[in-house]
Amino acid sequence: MISVFIFLAVDFFNQINMLYGTITEFCTEETCPVMSAGPKYEYHWADGQTVKKPIKCSAPKYIDYLMSWVQDQLDEESLFPSKIGVPFPKNFLAIAKTILKRLFRVYAHIYHQHFKEVVQLSEEAHLNTSFKHFIFFVQEFNLIEKRELAPLQELIDKLTSKDR
C-alpha cells in the first residue's frame, strides 16, 4: 500500500511541476506578489527547518521553495527509503499529508490566478484531469483536511459529483 502511495505522490508532484512550468511566464513577482488562491486565501512559506517562522513571499518564490522542499523530502532516504526491507518512519503519514496539502496550494493558485492562461494554452483538460485524480486520492484516504480544500471546494464538488 505504501509503495502505491509513494508512486502516486511522486506522480502528482511531477504533474503539478509540469503544469506550473507551462505558466511560469505568467506567474511572476509582479503579477503574483503573494502566494494566494483568491482574495480570501494567502499562504506563507515555512519548512520547519531553515524557515521556521512563516514568511510572506511571492507565488513564484513560494512555489520554488515548495517544489525544492518536496524534492528534498522525496530524496531523503530516512523518509522515503528506496531499499527493500527498510522501514518507513513512524511520522511518514504526517509528512505525506503535509506534502499533499502544500501541492494542493499550487493547484489552488493555478485555478484562481492563472486559469485564463491555462485555457489560452489549451491545457484545461489536463489540469482538470490531474486535479480530479489528486482530489479523489486525497479524499479516499482522508489526506487533506476539508478546511484546507476550501479555496477550490466549489470546483471539487463539481468534479466529484455523481451527476457529471
Question: How do residues 105-155 score in pLDDT, each as one tens digit?
Answer: 999 999 999 999 999 999 999 999 999 999 999 999 999 999 999 999 999
Considering the entire predicted model, what is its pTM?
0.94
CATH fold for the domain made of 2-160: Butyryl-CoA Dehydrogenase, subunit A; domain 3 (1.20.140)
Instruction: Centre a 10 Å sphere on the Cβ of residue 128 and count the other Cβ atoms it contains.
Output: 15
Question: How do residues 60-90 score in pLDDT, each as one tens digit?
Answer: 999 999 999 999 999 998 888 888 888 889 9
Q: Please indicate if the annotation marks 44 as binding a ligand.
A: no
- What's residue 82's pLDDT? 83
Q: Please indicate if the annotation marks 32 as binding a ligand.
A: yes
Query: In the chain, pLDDT over 70 holds for what percent of residues?
Result: 96
Distances (CA, A) of 119 to 24, 42, 76, 127: 15, 24, 36, 10
Q: Is the pLDDT of residue 2 over 90?
A: no
Q: Please indicate if the annotation marks 57 as binding a ligand.
A: no
Distances (CA, A) of 120 to 17, 25, 64, 117: 19, 13, 24, 5
User: In one letter, which amino acid is 19?
Assistant: L
Q: Is the pLDDT of residue 163 over 60?
A: no
Q: Please indicate if the annotation marks 27 as binding a ligand.
A: yes
Strand ranges inside the chain, DSSP E: 35-36, 42-43
Confidence band of 52 (pLDDT split at 50, 70, 90) = very high
Q: Is the pLDDT of residue 42 over 90?
A: yes
